[in-house]
Chain A
Amino acid sequence: SQTIHQWPATLVQPVGSPLSLECTVEGTSNPNLYWYRQAAGRGLQLLFYSVGIGQISSEVPQNLSASRPQDRQFILSSKKLLLSDSGFYLCAWRRGRANYGYTFGSGTRLTVV
């Protein structure tokens, strides 16, 4: 069966520090991968998605970047965090070329102080 792992679960970082959040998927190949951010009490904002290794689509201009160094690994990064980067970050995967929904990871709660 397929599983998605996301870590860390919580993170407190000072303003100006770097960020690296990692997401990995097991049990499937060539998945579509997604990073979402959710502000407190708000909806899901799509940040990046990837349909293959090295292929990254950015949905909103911001202080973050994403990379996909391996087929089942998706990384969200920042060189210098801002207070506004605080939020709940969710990774998700979906089978490509098929009508399936996303499977979400358990999320990372990031607090920038």
Chain B
Amino acid sequence: GENVEQHPSTLSVQEGDSAVIKCTYSDSASNYFPWYKQELGKGPQLIIDIRSNVGEKKDQRIAVTLNKTAKHFSLHITETQPEDSAVYFCAARYSSASKIIFGSGTRLSIRP
């Protein structure tokens, strides 16, 4: 059935270094892949998304890559800053579905 796996569950990086979070999905019909950032006590916020007709998308320090053949997609954060500390969720939408399937989340900590 529908499934999105996310790794790692926790990630600690030195400020200024890069962070990478990886996800895999099970249904090859998936065509939309959003990423969310959730700060403590708040609702998740959409930070970037990618559609299946694109292999990479960038927005300042964040980028997402999509490998449709391998059914992998990844979030890359460069030049990390303390405010990047949060829980990040990947997700996939299946073309025939009204719902988005979320990964289990990655707690990212930026060390000063």
Q: Which residues of A contact B12 (CB under 8 A)?
A: none
* Chain A 29-66: CB-based contact to B (< 8 A → 1; otherwise 0): 00010100000001110100101000001000000000
Alpha-carbon distance A109/B43, docked complex (angstroms) = 11
Q: Which residues of A contact B43 (CB under 8 A)?
A: 6, 90, 92, 104-107
Closest residue to A32 on the B side, CB-wise?
B98
Determine whether the beta carbon of B89 is less than 8 Å from that of A101: no
Contact of A49 among B34, B42, B89, B99 (CB under 8 A): B99
- A69, CB-defined interface residue at 8 Å: no
Main secondary structure of the interface of A (DSSP, over half): strand
Number of residues from B at the complex interface, CB < 8 A: 22
Determine whether the beta carbon of A43 is less than 8 Å from that of B42: no
- A103, CB-defined interface residue at 8 Å: yes
- A8, CB-defined interface residue at 8 Å: no
Q: Which residues of B contact A99 (CB under 8 A)?
A: 31-32, 51, 93
Known: A99-B51, A101-B46. A46 touches B32 (CB 8 A): no
Closest residue to A46 on the B side, CB-wise?
B99
Q: Which residues of A contact B89 (CB under 8 A)?
A: 43-44
Alpha-carbon distance A96/B98, docked complex (angstroms) = 8
Residues of A within 8 A of B (CB): 6, 32, 34, 42-44, 46, 49, 51, 57, 90, 92, 94, 96, 99-107, 109
Q: Can you give 15 contacting A-B residue pairs, CB < 8 Å?
A: A32-B98, A43-B105, A44-B89, A44-B102, A49-B99, A100-B32, A101-B34, A101-B46, A101-B100, A102-B34, A103-B46, A106-B42, A106-B43, A107-B41, A109-B41
